[in-house]
């Protein structure tokens, strides 16, 4: 059986247009999906939109349209942005789809029949934007939401409850047995201490609005938007519809999320699944938050970054690359025009772009555009090849752990080694002296570039292909096998390489 990998993004609320934060998680998942595919995995990559709930109902009301109209309008902005960003998702769930509503009703009923959902009454402080209740003790300054700091309102309603309090020990056992269930470690610790603090039953229905999925046994109750939303991870791979697909891909390998929605994914979600007798996901990775030029991104500050604009100005691969080269994945980061310009000019135009153009020019001039298998090899040639091989292994280790930042550091160590190799071996001198080692050095450079482009492929799918084409490789990079390509070789069907336009033009400040 071939290797399988299932990765998801959160499903995004459609009360707002997509911004850099949504792009971040989705590109992160795309990077892993592309990486796993060239490592030989059959990948299912799911994203989608969260279209129910009070927040959406209120946003539609403000615009004077129905929630359905708002959803239909905004969902296209997400779909279009994913095209612009070259997102290679294989599935997309809208929570308003019939196939999803059917799954939610089925699961609610099942958990109810098991005795894990019961009818009770609820009175507490409710935060509408977060769709969450808080106790007096949790409130900030006695009235504000502890998460978003906006005012909460007192709400009393009849409600169905999920017996979350019964799942504390099971969750602790899961956390104990699977130390990488929640990543990175700081988030694992956060979840563990939350669970150790004791869990209260969770309200899983609302009667204060109507935009959502009615509870099967009492239609004036609407299924809590988070109970509804989390289930998309099952709907998307054919739960109740396509057992073969479902059994192939569940349990999910990785849910990628922002740190803001950790508790829903790492506490509630596995508890719902345990109640259903379905295995929990293997990993939940929670990343940090972006600020913009040092400020929190917010509509009122007018600093919300539209990824379409960034792409227009800097290029799609440059944007994708920046997001993961600038900040270790997992930590918070700051987006600024200065920082993205600095990264593009430094890493891409100078270090990598120059390496490509110098190498291509020399292969054109000294070898008539084609590299050949070397006849003589000196110590330094072997050393370079060996070092590159080690760095590829390091890269793979880091990629497996979602350490994209470190993986990219290894890639740029390779470019730095290759740049130094050119300077120290001076192929133009070897050519002038008629020394056959010129072939060896250019062969190593060509191979170094070839593997570097492949290592960058998950981050920069278009540019890496351009580099392969520029160095005479006609293959589609997305179809290759990582293991076959990571060794140094010489190809017979290499196209002769000639002059190329700069692949990474400099950005003027």
Q: Which C-beta is closer to ligand ME8: that of 68 or that of 296?
A: 296
Work out whether 71 is an interface residue with ligand ME8 (CB under 6 A). no
Of 5, 13, 45, 319, the residue at the interface with ligand ME8 (CB under 6 A) is 13
Q: The tokens 């929605």 sit on which residue?
A: 261
How far apart are CB 228 and ligand ME8 at their closest, in Å? 9
Of 21, 238, 281, 307, the residue at the interface with ligand ME8 (CB under 6 A) is 21
How far apart are CB 260 and ligand ME8 at their closest, in Å? 5
Work out whether 55 is an interface residue with ligand ME8 (CB under 6 A). no
* Contact status, residue 212 vs residue 52, Cβ threshold 8 Å: yes
Helices of type H across 328-476: 337-343, 354-367, 379-400, 404-425, 427-432, 437-456, 461-470
How far apart are CB 321 and ligand ME8 at their closest, in Å? 17
Work out whether 470 is an interface residue with ligand ME8 (CB under 6 A). no
Q: Within a 13 Å sphere around the CA of 102, how many CA atoms are in the beta-carbon half?
A: 10
* Contact status, residue 50 vs residue 95, Cβ threshold 8 Å: yes
CA distance linking residue 402 with residue 29, whole number of Å: 10
How far apart are CB 280 and ligand ME8 at their closest, in Å? 15
CA distance linking residue 370 with residue 365, whole number of Å: 10
Q: Which long-range contacts (CB under 8 A, 24 or more apart) does 78-83 make?
A: 78/12, 78/14, 78/18, 78/22, 78/49, 81/18, 81/22, 81/23, 81/307, 81/308, 82/26, 82/47
Work out whether 129 is an interface residue with ligand ME8 (CB under 6 A). no
Q: Which C-beta is closer to ligand ME8: that of 262 or that of 430?
A: 262
Of 182, 215, 261, 362, the residue at the interface with ligand ME8 (CB under 6 A) is 261
Work out whether 50 is an interface residue with ligand ME8 (CB under 6 A). yes
How far apart are CB 491 and ligand ME8 at their closest, in Å? 41
Q: Which stretch binds ligand ME8 (CB under 6 A): 240-248, 256-264, 441-449, 464-472?
A: 256-264
Of 5, 25, 268, 485, the residue at the interface with ligand ME8 (CB under 6 A) is 25
Work out whether 24 is an interface residue with ligand ME8 (CB under 6 A). yes
- Pairing, β 3-13 against β 41-50: parallel
**Helices and strands in the chain: count of H runs, count of E runs:** 21, 15
Q: What is the DSSP secondary-structure string of 9-63?
A: EEEEETTS---HHHHHHHHHHHHHHHHHHHTTEEEEEEEEEE--SHHHHHHHHHH
Q: Which stretch binds ligand ME8 (CB under 6 A): 176-184, 252-260, 355-363, 477-485?
A: 252-260
Work out whether 12 is an interface residue with ligand ME8 (CB under 6 A). yes
In a 3-state reduction of DSSP, which class is residue 505?
A: coil
Q: Which C-beta is closer to ligand ME8: that of 34 or that of 52?
A: 52
Work out whether 29 is an interface residue with ligand ME8 (CB under 6 A). no
Q: Which stretch binds ligand ME8 (CB under 6 A): 18-26, 172-180, 274-282, 469-477?
A: 18-26
Of 5, 6, 7, 11, the residue at the interface with ligand ME8 (CB under 6 A) is 11
Work out whether 237 is an interface residue with ligand ME8 (CB under 6 A). no
Q: Which C-beta is closer to ligand ME8: that of 31 or that of 392?
A: 31
Q: Which C-beta is closer to ligand ME8: that of 216 or that of 258?
A: 258
262, 253, 284: which is closest to 190 by C-alpha?
Answer: 262
Q: Which stretch binds ligand ME8 (CB under 6 A): 228-236, 371-379, 388-396, 476-484?
A: 228-236
* Contact status, residue 310 vs residue 340, Cβ threshold 8 Å: yes
Sorted by sequence, the CB contacts under 8 Å of residue 348 that are 6+ apart come out as 318, 321, 504
Helices of type H across 121-251: 168-177, 185-196, 225-230, 232-235, 243-249
Question: Please, what sign has the CA dihedral across residues 36, 231, 229, 139?
Answer: negative
Work out whether 363 is an interface residue with ligand ME8 (CB under 6 A). no
Question: Please, what sign has the CA dihedral across residues 233, 239, 243, 245?
Answer: negative
Q: Which stretch binds ligand ME8 (CB under 6 A): 178-186, 226-234, 361-369, 386-394?
A: 226-234
Q: The tokens 């072997």 sit on which residue?
A: 382
Q: What's the distance, CA 482 to chain centroid? A: 20
Residue nearest to ligand ME8 (CB): 21
Work out whether 326 is an interface residue with ligand ME8 (CB under 6 A). no
* Contact status, residue 327 vs residue 287, Cβ threshold 8 Å: no
Distances (CA, A) of 54 to 15, 156, 209, 420: 10, 16, 6, 59
Q: Which stretch binds ligand ME8 (CB under 6 A): 20-28, 155-163, 237-245, 346-354?
A: 20-28
Q: Which C-beta is closer to ligand ME8: that of 16 or that of 478?
A: 16
Work out whether 124 is an interface residue with ligand ME8 (CB under 6 A). no
Work out whether 205 is an interface residue with ligand ME8 (CB under 6 A). no
Q: Which C-beta is closer to ligand ME8: that of 265 or that of 343?
A: 265
Work out whether 92 is an interface residue with ligand ME8 (CB under 6 A). no
Of 268, 290, 443, 482, the residue at the interface with ligand ME8 (CB under 6 A) is 290
Of 5, 22, 126, 199, the residue at the interface with ligand ME8 (CB under 6 A) is 22
CA angle 485, 490, 491 (to 5 degrees): 85
Of 139, 276, 297, 491, the residue at the interface with ligand ME8 (CB under 6 A) is 297
Query: By CB under 6 A, how many residues form the interface with ligand ME8?
Result: 19
Binding site for ligand ME8 (CB under 6 A): 10-13, 21-22, 24-25, 50, 229-230, 232, 257-258, 260-261, 289-290, 297
């Amino acid at each position: 059986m071939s290797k399988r990998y299932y990765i998801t993004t959160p499903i995004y609320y459609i009360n707002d247009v997509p911004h850099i934060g949504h792009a971040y998680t989705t590109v992160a998942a795309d990077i892993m999906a592309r990486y796993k595919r060239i490592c030989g995995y059959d990948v299912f990559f799911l994203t989608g939109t969260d279209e129910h709930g009070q927040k959406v109902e209120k946003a539609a009301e403000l615009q004077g349209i129905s929630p359905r109209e708002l959803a239909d309008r905004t969902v296209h902005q997400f779909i279009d942005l994913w095209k612009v960003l070259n997102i290679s998702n294989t599935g997309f769930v809208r929570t308003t789809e019939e196939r999803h509503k059917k799954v939610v009703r089925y699961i609610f009923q099942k958990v109810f029949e098991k005795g894990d959902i019961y009818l009770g009454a609820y009175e507490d402080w409710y935060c509408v934007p977060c769709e969450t209740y808080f106790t007096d003790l949790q409130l900030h300054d006695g009235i504000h939401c502890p998460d978003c700091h906006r005012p909460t309102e007192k709400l009393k309603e009849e409600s169905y409850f999920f017996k979350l309090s019964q799942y504390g020990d099971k969750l602790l056992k899961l956390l104990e047995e699977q130390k990488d269930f929640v990543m990175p470690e700081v988030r694992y610790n956060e979840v563990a201490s939350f669970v150790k603090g004791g869990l209260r039953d969770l309200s899983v229905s609302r009667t204060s609005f109507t935009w959502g999925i009615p509870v099967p046994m009492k239609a004036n109750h609407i299924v809590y938007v988070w109970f509804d939303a989390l289930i998309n991870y099952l709907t998307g791979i054919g739960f109740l519809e396509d057992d073969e697909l479902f059994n192939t891909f569940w349990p999910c390998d990785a849910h990628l999320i922002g740190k803001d929605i950790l508790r829903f994914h790492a506490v509630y979600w596995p508890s719902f699944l345990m109640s259903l007798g379905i295995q929990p996901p293997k990993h939940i990775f929670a990343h940090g938050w972006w600020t913009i030029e040092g400020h929190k991104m917010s509509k009122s500050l007018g600093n919300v970054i539209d990824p379409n604009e960034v792409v227009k100005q800097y290029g799609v691969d440059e944007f994708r690359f920046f997001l993961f080269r600038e900040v270790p994945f997992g930590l918070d980061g700051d987006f600024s025009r200065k920082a993205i310009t600095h990264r593009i000019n430094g890493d891409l135009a100078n270090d990598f772009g120059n390496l490509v153009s110098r190498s291509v020019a020399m292969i054109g001039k000294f070898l008539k555009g084609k590299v050949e298998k070397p006849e003589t090899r000196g110590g330094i040639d072997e050393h370079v090849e060996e070092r590159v091989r080690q760095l590829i292994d390091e890269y793979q280790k880091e990629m497996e752990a979602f350490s994209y930042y470190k993986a990219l550091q290894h890639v740029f160590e390779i470019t730095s080694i290759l740049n130094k190799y050119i300077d120290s071996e001076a192929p133009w001198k070897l050519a002038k002296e008629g020394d056959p080692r010129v072939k060896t050095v250019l062969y190593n450079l060509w191979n170094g570039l070839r593997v570097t482009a492949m290592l960058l492929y998950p981050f920069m799918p278009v540019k890496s292909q351009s580099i392969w084409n520029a160095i005479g490789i006609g293959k589609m990079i997305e179809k290759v096998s990582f293991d076959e390509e990571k060794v140094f070789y010489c190809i017979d069907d290499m196209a002769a390489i000639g002059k190329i336009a700069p692949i990474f033009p400099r950005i003027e400040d």
